Amino acid sequence: MSSPYVIKTRVDPTSYEHAASQVVTWAHTGERRYVCAANVHMVMEAYDSAEFQRIVNAAALVTPDGMPLVWMLRRLGYPDQQRVYGPDLTLHVAHEAVKKGVPVGLYGSSPETIQAFQRFLETEYPGIQVQYAYSPPFRELTREEDAQVVRDINNSGARILFVGLGCPKQERWMAAHLNYLNLVMLGVGVAFDFHAGHKLQAPGWMQKIGLEWLFRLLTEPRRLWQRYLYNNPRFMILAAWQLFWQKRP
């Protein structure tokens, strides 16, 4: 059965266990893949950009990261669908990587955050092999710098690369490097910051009822107000319109 589309963006019915197992299996067999964790922001970025929509829809796996997408999948014929949240999927993949002896790498965020996240992984998952960790500058890399990054990642031996650049930058970066990096890439957004303890996550009850966006808006209003106040109402209207038309004979 083919995966459903939410406002023209593919979202795959999956679980933490299945997604983590799939990522590690791809890594173990040496496949080049990238994985997206889709939320309302990503779906609306894809709605506004056909080029970005093609990037997300070409991913090997697109997990329902946000509760509104979980609710949509339930209405589209997957009543048991649960959330597969990027920061938590990161931990499931790390756990599975330790079990299977698959080396990992980290790319993104700030130098302080990526170091703290690496310490977190090595403390919480004894035996994890973090073979590569790099925080790129907040500018576009030159062609020479990018070529060096590709060489360093491939030479590190990492088979899974956690990419924490934020949406849509990380998805574009993964798609652009798919044919050059010999590993599986997983776009994890702010997972580095959350697990490093540099940003607060919403309480569990807010996540379950789909109010994580409100928590993040209250904690980072200057950075996020435009994203949420622009994207969330549009998503609700477009999602309702999709469900209305799919009910028609």
Min mean pLDDT across 51-65, 182-196, 199-213 is at 199-213
H or E, element range at 134: strand 130-134
In tens, the pLDDT along 104-123 reads: 999 999 999 999 999 999 99
CB of 187 within 8 A of CB of 63?
no
Instruction: Judge whether residue 211 has pLDDT over 80.
Output: no
In sequence order, what are the residues at sequence separation of 6 or more whose Cβ sits closer than 8 angstroms to the Cβ of residue 148?
none
Rounded to whole angstroms, the maximal C-alpha distance in the chain is 56
Q: What is the architecture, at CATH level 2, of domain 9-204?
A: 3-Layer(aba) Sandwich (3.40)
Please give the full DSSP string across 2-35, using - where no structure is assigned. Answer: PPPEETTEE-----HHHHHHHHHHHHHTT--EEE
pTM for the model: 0.90
CB of 226 within 8 A of CB of 41?
no
Instruction: Read off the DSSP letter of residue 156.
Output: H
pLDDT of residue 68: 93
CB of 224 within 8 A of CB of 149?
no
In tens, the pLDDT along 139-181 reads: 899 999 999 999 999 999 999 999 999 999 999 999 999 999 9
pLDDT of residue 215: 63
- Measuring CA to CA, which residue among 220, 204, 183 is closest to residue 33? 183
pLDDT of residue 245: 84
Residue type, 183: L
**pLDDT > 70: what percent of the chain?**
91
Q: What is the mean pLDDT of residues 220-244?
A: 83
pLDDT bracket for residue 184 (50, 70, 90)? very high
In tens, the pLDDT along 72-83 reads: 999 999 999 999
**CA dist list (Å): 223 to 24, 37, 197, 217:** 34, 21, 19, 8
pLDDT of residue 225: 62
- Please tell me the distance from the alpha carbon of residue 23 to that of residue 185, in angstroms, as a whole number: 9
pLDDT of residue 249: 53
In tens, the pLDDT along 13-37 reads: 999 999 999 999 999 999 999 999 9
Q: Which sequence spans correspond to the domains of the chain?
A: 9-204
CB of 90 within 8 A of CB of 191?
yes
The tokens for 173 are: 């970066």
pLDDT of residue 226: 72
